[in-house]
Amino acid sequence: MQPVISITGLDKTYASGFQALKDIHLEIYRGEIFALLGPNGAGKTTLISTICGLVSPTRGRIVADGHDIVTQYRHARERIGLVPQELTTDAFETVWNTVSFSRGLFGKPADPDHIEKILRALSLWNKKDNALITLSGGMKRRVMIAKALSHEPRILFLDEPTAGVDVSLRKDMWALVRNLRGMGVTIILTTHYIEEAEEMADRVGVINRGEIVLVEGKAELMRKLGKKQLILQLKAPLQTIPEALAPYALEPGAEACELVYTYDAQRGNHNIADLFEALRSAGIAFKDLRTEQSSLEEIFVNLLREQK
Ligand SMILES: Nc1ncnc2c1ncn2[C@@H]1O[C@H](COP(=O)(O)OP(=O)(O)OP(=O)(O)O)[C@@H](O)[C@H]1O
């Protein structure tokens, strides 16, 4: 796949001496939704601010849509739209003016048709003459996205797009981001909501203490690291687990009659047929069963634990 952003050997040390990014190598592919996931203070904002040219790299190189972000800053920046965490707008300005003005800042000629298209796509068209101060929080956030899209960037950064946004609005935002990808925009979002990465991303990059710990397709990540559990509901509670079942490392479940078998979902040889046979031989009958797969949340927590 073709990278739209290539980062090689990127370090960032702030003036305070604090090293916020350590030897980052990362490629973002054209047309994907990439979620940069990490705990507070991991370096997510520093990384996207560096790609957007707002923070200068200490070492390393970043190329955005074919342009070096340091030596060809203007060209690189033109390709990029950034929706920052904080809403930075003039509260008394109208939606239309805010978005149109932003396009002008990039030296692009006025294009009312384009502005109309994005306002409609973001369900803001009927608010175009409203002052920002009269809008709800969710609408203001959408204005920030419209602003970032006003100069027709190929790459859109969303820094914590749903921080402090309630659950139903969060779902609207996810649908919106998918729509934007449908329009051909590559999307990089930062989040510490695992649910958000799980819901939206094609690939997930995990950053912790300034280092990229892992980059993986979301489905692969879940498949690779996800443990699966088979939960058997027994007909009668077990006092002890018979010796013959020891190889399966069975554990009692949350309910009295439950027995849990944990296996690696990726491996084909997880012996479930053998387990059933062994249960039958031991005279243990079950009336129902279900499987559960670990979520990205559990995977993430385990990853960070391993790193310590
Ligand atoms: N201007 C600065 N000078 C010194 N240190 C900074 C500066 N900006 C950020 N840092 C530090 O760099 C680290 C990474 O911060 P950053 O904002 O990139 O993290 P983050 O992953 O975006 O966190 P959050 O999820 O809380 O937004 C933090 O320890 C932060 O205190």
- 291 and 209 share a domain? no
CA 20 from chain centre, in angstroms, equals: 20
Total H helices, total E strands in the chain: 10, 14
- 190 and 255 share a domain? no
Centre of ligand 1 from the C-alpha of residue 159, in Å: 13
- 236 and 204 share a domain? no
Query: Which residue's alpha carbon is at the smallest distance from atom 31 of ligand 1?
Result: 41
Per-residue pLDDT band for 253 (boundaries 50, 70, 90) equals confident
Q: For 45-72, what is the mean pLDDT?
A: 95
Identify the domain boundary among 222, 239, 262. 222
In this prediction, residue 307 carries a pLDDT of 66
pLDDT(86) > 90: no
In this prediction, residue 100 carries a pLDDT of 94
- 170 and 58 share a domain? yes
In this prediction, residue 225 carries a pLDDT of 60
Place of tokens 């054209």: 30
Q: For 6-23, what is the mean pLDDT?
A: 97
Stretch among 69-83, 111-125, 285-299 having the lowest mean pLDDT = 285-299
Which pairs from 180-183 meet CB under 8 Å and 24+ separation?
180/121, 180/145, 180/149, 180/156, 181/31, 181/32, 181/33, 183/121
- 300 and 157 share a domain? no
Identify the domain boundary among 222, 257, 276. 222
- 147 and 53 share a domain? yes
CA 178 from chain centre, in angstroms, equals: 12
For the chain, give the mean pLDDT: 88
- 19 and 146 share a domain? yes
Would you say the CB of residue 50 lies under 6 angstroms from ligand 1? no
pLDDT(267) > 70: no
Place of tokens 């980059």: 215
- 195 and 67 share a domain? yes
- 144 and 201 share a domain? yes
In this prediction, residue 308 carries a pLDDT of 63
Tens of pLDDT, residues 117-176: 989 988 899 999 999 999 988 888 889 989 999 999 999 999 988 776 777 777 877 888
In this prediction, residue 169 carries a pLDDT of 74
In this prediction, residue 94 carries a pLDDT of 95
Which residue, among 61, 59, 2, 5, has the nearest Cα to 205 in the 3D structure?
5
Q: Is 111 exposed, middle or buried (0-12, 13-18, 19+ CB in 10 A)?
A: middle
More confident residue, 43 or 299: 43
Centre of ligand 1 from the C-alpha of residue 171, in Å: 27
pLDDT(84) > 90: no
Identify the domain boundary among 222, 254, 275. 222
In this prediction, residue 294 carries a pLDDT of 66
Q: Cβ contacts of residue 303 below 8 Å, gap of 6+?
A: 206, 208, 213, 214, 225
Q: For 275-289, what is the mean pLDDT?
A: 92
- 236 and 217 share a domain? no
Q: Which domain holds residue 259?
A: 227-307
Number of structural domains, the chain? 2
Check: CB of residue 69 under 8 Å from CB of residue 55: no
pLDDT(234) > 90: yes
In this prediction, residue 57 carries a pLDDT of 96
In this prediction, residue 126 carries a pLDDT of 95
Would you say the CB of residue 162 lies under 6 angstroms from ligand 1? no
Centre of ligand 1 from the C-alpha of residue 146, in Å: 26
Stretch among 64-73, 201-210, 216-225 having the lowest mean pLDDT = 216-225
CATH number at residue 243: 3.30.70
Q: What is the pTM of this model?
A: 0.78
pLDDT(224) > 70: no
CATH number at residue 182: 3.40.50.300
- 20 and 104 share a domain? yes
Would you say the CB of residue 39 lies under 6 angstroms from ligand 1? no
Would you say the CB of residue 194 lies under 6 angstroms from ligand 1? no
Tens of pLDDT, residues 87-96: 777 788 999 9
Per-residue pLDDT band for 259 (boundaries 50, 70, 90) equals very high
Centre of ligand 1 from the C-alpha of residue 44, in Å: 8
Per-residue pLDDT band for 293 (boundaries 50, 70, 90) equals confident
- 115 and 239 share a domain? no
